Amino acid sequence: MNDKTQSSPILLKAAAKTTIEKNTLSDTQVNALLDLQKDRLDKSDIRFAQAENGINTVDKDGGLLARLSHHPKRLTSLATMAIFAIALSLWVNNTPDYSYQIAQEAAKNHLKLKPLDVQTQSMDGIRSYFTQLDFSPVQSSVLNQRFLLSDQHLLGGRYCSIKGVTAAQLRYNDVLANKKTGNQLVTLYQVPYDPEIYGDIPSDKDAPTVVNIKGLSVSLWVEKGLLMVLTSQG
Amino acid sequence: MSKIDIQLQSDDLQSLYQYAMVLCQNPSNAQDLLQSGVEVLLRETNKGKTIKQPRAYVRRVIRNLFIDQCRVNQYWQTDEYQEKASYDISPVDIEQLHIDQQLLQNIWGTLSAMDRDILYHWAILGYSTDEACEILEIPRGTFLSRMHRLKKHCAPLDDSNPQHGNDKKTRQPL
């Protein structure tokens, strides 16, 4: 007996409908999708009830971060603000103390007391020696008036550097100090002043910035476009 | 007690699954599409959006997701397709077409997703084929030429056709 039955043609619409409707989800699959909806709606109800009762508690499904994760734009803007705030605080806190760094370097050079490249008692002699500098060493009026040091106290000079910039190191013999404490050498560094490298150094001649470091007193001021750093015994 | 009722009941889910199957012809992919569609619906509802026709909404989401997947795999035909051969594309009286159920079952998978989509809108949702083409933004000429091919399959089964009973070898593949 032949089991194969010859089906009769039917309308395309009915045939298409039958073909399409042959595919069905199992009860388990349907229930899973119904449960998914119920689950979400229950959570929605909890939030709804909390809002109605004015309860401002942490969400049961994860708290602030979870709530924000549903709103990527808010999360992004909050993260941007946080990064900006952190960067600002780091920048403020990490702004280097230029005066201290300069003073530290000047004190280090002063204590090493390397031999002078040129021995002279005149600023002309200094200028004629320092030909490799991109500035001209000057006679400092602050040095004269405040520290009472002039050419007659000058011993000579040598090349050095402050924060990587070539500088002139002039060495003086402080006669007045000598009378009190014996031999005392004073070192004056001159380097072109660049606020980006050296920070904000006051140009007030009456009030140089003074940093005490390693038992030394380091005075900093700006004069005639040059940063002056004077190191003496504290 | 929920403040909002479940939006998609069992019959909605079955109907949407069938639609997903029409498009992708793969049970696992169809389930994924349906679940993604339901999740989009729930997400939008939780945001406070009022969706008046959730079944239609999810159907649209499923279609968009399917097209996205096709675009990734580059098999969704977005440009108008021009058949090499010329067909008579005068309106096909598709309502009167007869076909063997088993034959349709056999060729169903060989139809393009685009054509199955139109047939779904026509046979299940009750739109005319013209309306379906318009809603789905599918070139009508392309669909009609494909329907002519389908008609050729149906022709031997049509009692009014004198060629009834022709050998199946003469039929063109769709």
Q: What is the C-alpha separation between B60 and B131, in angstroms, rounded?
A: 16
What pLDDT sits at residue B166?
Answer: 43
Contact (CB<8Å) A30/B6:
no
What pLDDT sits at residue B1?
Answer: 40
Identify the DSSP state of A40. H
Higher pLDDT, B140 or B20: B20
Instruction: Identify whether residues B103 and B162 lie together within a single domain.
Output: yes
Q: What is the C-alpha separation between A208 and A197, in angstroms, rounded?
A: 18
Neighbouring residues of A21: CB distance < 8 A, sequence distance ≥ 6: B18, B124
Instruction: Identify whether residues B66 and B99 lie together within a single domain.
Output: no
Interface size A-B, in CB pairs within 8 Å, comes to: 112
* B144-161 confidence digits (pLDDT tens): 777 777 777 666 555 444
Nearest to A20 among B13, B18, B42 (CB): B18
What are the b/e assignments for B76-97, b being 16+ CB within 10 Å?
eeeeeeeeeeebebeebebeeb
Largest interatomic CA distance in chain B: 65
Instruction: Identify whether residues B123 and B161 lie together within a single domain.
Output: yes
CATH number at B165 reads 1.10.10
Contact (CB<8Å) B2/A41:
yes
Report if residue B78 sits inside a domain: no
Q: What is the C-alpha separation between A219 and A204, in angstroms, rounded?
A: 12
Nearest to A38 among B3, B6, B39 (CB): B6
Q: Structural domain of residue B130, as residue ranges?
A: 94-170
Q: What is the C-alpha separation between B132 and B150, in angstroms, rounded?
A: 17
* B13-29 confidence digits (pLDDT tens): 999 999 999 999 999 99
Nearest to A37 among B3, B27, B38 (CB): B38
Instruction: Identify whether residues B56 and B27 lie together within a single domain.
Output: yes
Number of C-alpha atoms within 13 angstroms, CB side, residue B20?
27
The mean predicted confidence, pLDDT, of chain B is 77
pLDDT (tens place) for every residue of chain A, 234 residues total = 444 445 678 888 899 999 999 999 999 999 999 988 888 777 666 665 655 555 444 444 555 556 566 667 777 888 888 888 888 777 766 666 788 888 888 888 888 888 888 888 888 888 888 888 888 898 888 888 888 888 888 899 999 888 888 899 999 988 776 666 666 889 999 999 888 888 888 776 667 888 888 888 899 888 888 999 999 887
Report if residue B81 sits inside a domain: no
Q: What is the ipTM of this complex?
A: 0.77
- Quote the minimal CA–CA distance from A83 to chain B in Å: 28
Instruction: Identify whether residues B52 and B115 lie together within a single domain.
Output: no
Q: Which residues of B touch A52 (CB under 8 A)?
A: none
Looking at the structure of chain B, the number of domains it has is: 2
Nearest to B42 among A16, A23, A37 (CB): A37
Neighbouring residues of B88: CB distance < 8 A, sequence distance ≥ 6: B148
Q: Is pLDDT at B82 greater than 80 in this prediction?
A: no
Q: Which residues of B touch A33 (CB under 8 A)?
A: 8, 13, 34-35, 38
DSSP secondary structure of A41-90: HHHHHHHHHHHHHT-----TTSHHHHHHHT-HHHHHHHHHHHHHHHHHHH
